[in-house]
Every structure is written in C-alpha cells, then in structure tokens.
Amino acid sequence: MKLPAGTEGGVIINPQKEGMLQYLMAFKGVIMIDSGRGKGFILTRKGDLVAAYFKDKYGVYRGASAVQNLMAASGSDTGLPQQNFIMRVYGDEDFSEALEMCTKGGLLIEAAPSQETIAPAPAKTSVSPRNAPTFLDESTITKIISQPGVVAVSAFYEGFPVQSLGEGDFEHVAARAEDLLRAGTKIAQDMNLGQPNQLILETADNKFIIAPCGDLFICIITRADVQLGLMRVLIRSIQNEVGG
C-alpha cells in the first residue's frame, strides 16, 4: 500500500524519550514507524488514532493489534537500533484518500472516525468508498500453510496483504501477485477465455499460485515438488466454501 506522500512533518527519534502527546493532539496525517523490530504506520487525526499497520518477522498486524505491537516494539529498551517516527502531514484530500485505502485494507482501529466525519475531498477525487473486504477464516489460511510443500500463503486485496502466514516479504509478494493477476486477466479477456480461476507460475525451485477467494485473492508459494493436483483441489474446495 502506497499512502499519499503529504508534506514533511519532521522526524522524531526515540519518541518515548522525547514525548509526542502534545504534538499528536494537533497532528493530522500519517506516522511512518521503524521500531527496530518491524515497520508500519499509524494514521492519526488530531489525537484520534484512525488506522494502523505493522509488520515484523512474526507476522502482519492491522488496526488495534498493529497499535499494540507498534507501541510494544517502540517502547522496549533492549538495545534496539535507533527508532524513527517520520511524520507526514495531510490536508483534507490526502487524509480522505488515505482513510479510504486503510478501510479497504482492513486497517481501521475500533471506534475510529468514519468517512462522514472527515472534511470531504474536492469533487474531482470524490468517490464512493467500497466496503472493506471480508477476511478469510483463520483456519482456512492455516489449512493451506499446513500442506506439504507450502512455504507461504497470503490473502491480498488490491495489491495489499491482509492475512499472511509463513516466511516472506508479503508486501512485495502481494504487489507482484497483483501485477501477475492483472496481466493474466487481461490476456484471458483478450483471448475470450473468461475470468481466470487460478494462475500458476512455475520455476525450477518454486510454484506461485494465485486464485480468487471471496472478496480477496490468495497467493501461495510452494516448493517445486508440491503435489499441484492436490493444491488445485484444496483451492477449489476453499473457493466453494467462501463463494469465490
């Protein structure tokens, strides 16, 4: 996910020592955070934490869970590298765009301000925000990652990972999966083949599988020796369960 750039609002180093509360009460924008243990961001509006995302080696966190992990990591005093909070100031248009993106990605914090409480963007960028995607049941992701030969699995929405398990740079994986999905869909449409049910990219060492699954798409990275037929059956059964 690439949030609006906004304007530079400065960098706060080791914020737990400098103090941020007074500044945040007047700040409207996004705080990009590198805690030393992971990276993420918080979308905030004059003291209200609106949305959050955090990724570390253990997984990906969204909303309130992301805030908890961000604060735990940045508040630790265990000799971690320097912690940087990069402030990006938003006007009404940038904030509305960022809020819509976070809504789509399922990053809103509970009781966050709704779209209606934000000053509307100019007419040229005014769009009706789509509903956030319905996430897959956790057991579904677990079922996939537990299959022999599966290295990682990620459910993504518009190029942004929303549920992931395994080892990998899931932001990069989801972005490339989105590229492959769009290219494959375009080719299928140009050849009058209909909508792709599964896309499979094979190399000497791995297989990369993409398939629609409800509101999301799932991408699965496996070893080359995975039983592809069994994977296809599993994906098809999951698609039937969620209506994808």
Q: Calculate what percentage of the chain has a pLDDT beyond 90.
A: 12
The predicted structure's pLDDT at residue 112: 39
Strand order from edge to edge, sheet including 150-157:
160-166, 150-157, 216-223, 206-213, 199-202
Mean pLDDT, residues 107-112: 66
Strand-pair partners of 88: 8, 30
Q: Cα separation of 5 and 126, whole Å?
A: 18
What was the pLDDT predicted at 119? Answer: 38
Higher pLDDT, 87 or 129: 87
Beta bridge partners of 163: 155
Q: What share of the chain is helix, strand, coil (3-state, %, to 5)?
A: 35, 30, 35
Give the DSSP letter string of 50-77: EEEEEEETTEEEETHHHHHHHHHHHT--
Contact 42, 31 (CB under 8 A): yes
CA separation for the pair 43, 64 (Å, rounded): 12
Sheet containing 38-45: give its strands across: 7-13, 84-89, 28-34, 38-45, 48-56, 59-62
Give the whole-angstrom CA distance, residue 219 versus residue 199.
Answer: 9
Q: What is the mean pLDDT of residues 156-166?
A: 83
First CA to last CA across the chain, in angstroms?
23
Angle between helices 228-242 and 138-145 (to 10 degrees): 180
pLDDT of residue 120: 38
Work out the average pLDDT over 1-10.
77
Most confident of 6-15, 19-28, 119-128, 167-176: 167-176
Predicted pLDDT of residue 209: 93
**Homologous superfamily of domain range 138-242:** Dynein light chain 2a, cytoplasmic (3.30.450.30)
Q: Which residue has the higher pLDDT, 205 or 118?
A: 205
Q: Spell out the residues 6+ positions from residue 244 whose beta carbon is closer than 8 angstroms to its own.
A: 211, 212, 213, 214, 215, 216, 238
What is the pLDDT, as a whole number, of residue 73?
53
Give the pLDDT band (50/70/90) at residue 115: very low
pTM: 0.48
DSSP 194: -
- Please state the domain extents for the chain: 7-114, 138-242
pLDDT for position 44: 84
pLDDT value of position 244:
52
Task: Reply yes or no on whether the pLDDT at 117 is more than 80.
Answer: no
Average pLDDT across the chain, whole number:
76
- The count of residues in the chain is 244
CA distance 157 to 175: 10
Query: pLDDT of 185-236, one tens digit each?
Result: 899 898 988 888 889 999 999 999 999 988 888 999 999 999 888 888 888 8
pLDDT in tens, 136-152: 777 888 889 888 899 99
For the chain, how big is the Rg over CA atoms in Å? 20
